[in-house]
Structure 1
Amino acid sequence: MTSPNGMTWTSCTSPVASFWKSVTYSDELFVAVAQDAVGETDCVMTSANGKNWKSGTAAANYAWVSVTYGNNMFVAVSETGYDQVMTSPNGENWTSRSAAVAKDWRSVTYSDGKFVAVAGSDGNNDVMTSTDGETLMIVSSGVDALWYSVTFGGRTFVAVAFGGNSQIMTSSDGATWTAQDSPAESKWQSVTFGANMSVAVASDGEDGEFVMNG
């Protein structure tokens, strides 16, 4: 669905019926990725205007759950599979990349010259970074939680967790992370940044939203 203002929405038809999980935008192209395409690799779709879409072929039939754009490259991560990263310079031709560690990769973002991905898996080695999307390096956040979403804003990367002792962590460089207090124990699903604040939403828990200034 599309909207010029976030309030009035119009339904559009996707070229393939699938579990579409994430969408991003470059300078001229929308790209969406899917979790499943009924055993096929039609897990990508692209659009120049957000209304008319065409099917694309993913590097592999994996559970692609997040896609971002930066440094002239689309990068997507998967929660399952062997090579859990794929990259594309144009949103149509994709190349498999080996994740630094096989994990439940849930979210990827780009800013300040760096791709940063987080995983929804227990234990360390739950952050992955890259400057080009192709050479990937694992980072231990030191915060044991099920990280589901990461964004960048206010000169800071912010990640939120679906579960764990600490459900927010921040980093200025994507490599060194610090746990932050959460206002409520909830199943945080997504976080973004705008208007000088980070905003997160949850699927379940004590409260369904929190706002962090700065």
Structure 2
Amino acid sequence: MRHILIIFSLFLFSFIIFSCSEKEESSTTPTTSSPLFVSVGNSGTILTSSDGTTWTSKTSGTTEDLYGVTYANSTFVVVGTSGTILTSSDGTTWTSRTSGTSNYLANVTYANSTFVTVGDNATGSGTILTSTDATTWTSRTSGTTRRLTELTYANSIFIIVGYEGTILTSSDGITWVDRSWSSRLNRFNGVTYANSIFVVTGSAG
């Protein structure tokens, strides 16, 4: 199973993923025998590196801005503006997938045998898409018109956060429950889990 390290960048590249092929008891098959970093960013930018020092530009096939990337089931998945979803088995050759939406997709994760990506449209309507294979994607009812920015999975729960104090939870990625913060002045941009605690971060207003 490939270990994934996601590094959030404050500058051009939205995310960097590191994957290595240390073998564990798992059904996941490594795609290469060498470590691989994948970084995505503006105007369809995808860079890869085996050491984090020397980077190579890859052809993404899109000029859309790319914001989220994850790796699971021997597949890299990248999401971005205009409903862009790209997949790759090796980080070099990328295939565009039909998302069924033109909405901005902010982030993507994988857990519980499901890929989940979140985002919004120009009016702020919350968007959630799921897939079991990263190829066919299904829109899910978010129950909110607010923008969704980040998600995580831990303790058998998916958690999505977003604008105006939005917090959504789901056990399967399909049915979502609104747990939003009472103050709608908060804009949540991050969520993580550690030491038996979920932590949400953001700003007021």
SS of the residue 1:24 aligns to: strand
Q: Which residue of 2 aligns with 1:189?
A: 189
Q: Which residue of 2 aligns with 1:25?
A: 18
**Separation (CA, whole Å) in 2 of partners of 1:91 and 1:72:** 10
**Separation (CA, whole Å) in 2 of partners of 1:26 and 1:181:** 34
What value does the CA root-mean-square deviation take over the aligned residues?
2.0
- By how many angstroms is 1:48 displaced? 2.0
| 1:151-179 deviation line (CA, Å, top 9, x unaligned) | 11111111110x24x51111111000111
Q: Which residue of 1 aligns with 2:8?
A: none
| 1:40-80 deviation line (CA, Å, top 9, x unaligned) | x5x01112232332222213111111111111100011123
1:55 and 2:54 are equivalent in the alignment: no
TM-score w.r.t. structure 2 length? 0.79
Count the aligned residue pairs.
178
**Separation (CA, whole Å) in 2 of partners of 1:150 and 1:169:** 9
Check whether the contact 1:59–1:86 (CA below 8 A) recurs between aligned residues.
Answer: no
**Separation (CA, whole Å) in 2 of partners of 1:114 and 1:29:** 23
Q: Which residue of 1 aligns with 2:6?
A: none
**Separation (CA, whole Å) in 2 of partners of 1:178 and 1:86:** 28
One-letter code aligned to 2:14: K
Check whether the contact 1:33–1:44 (CA below 8 A) recurs between aligned residues.
Answer: yes
Q: Which residue of 2 aligns with 1:11?
A: none
Q: Which residue of 1 aligns with 2:29?
A: none
**Separation (CA, whole Å) in 2 of partners of 1:97 and 1:115:** 13
TM-score w.r.t. structure 1 length? 0.76
Q: Which residue of 1 aligns with 2:170?
A: 171
Structure 2: gaps spanning 5 or more residues: 1-10, 21-34
Q: Which residue of 2 aligns with 1:94?
A: 94
**Separation (CA, whole Å) in 2 of partners of 1:199 and 1:55:** 35
Q: Taking every aligned residue pair, what percent have the same amino acid on both sides?
A: 29
- By how many angstroms is 1:183 displaced? 6.5
**Separation (CA, whole Å) in 1 of partners of 2:48 and 2:138:** 28
Q: Which residue of 1 aligns with 2:142?
A: 141
**Separation (CA, whole Å) in 1 of partners of 2:95 and 2:109:** 18
Structure 1: gaps spanning 5 or more residues: 1-17, 207-214
| 1:115-153 deviation line (CA, Å, top 9, x unaligned) | 0001123336x1100011111111111122100111111
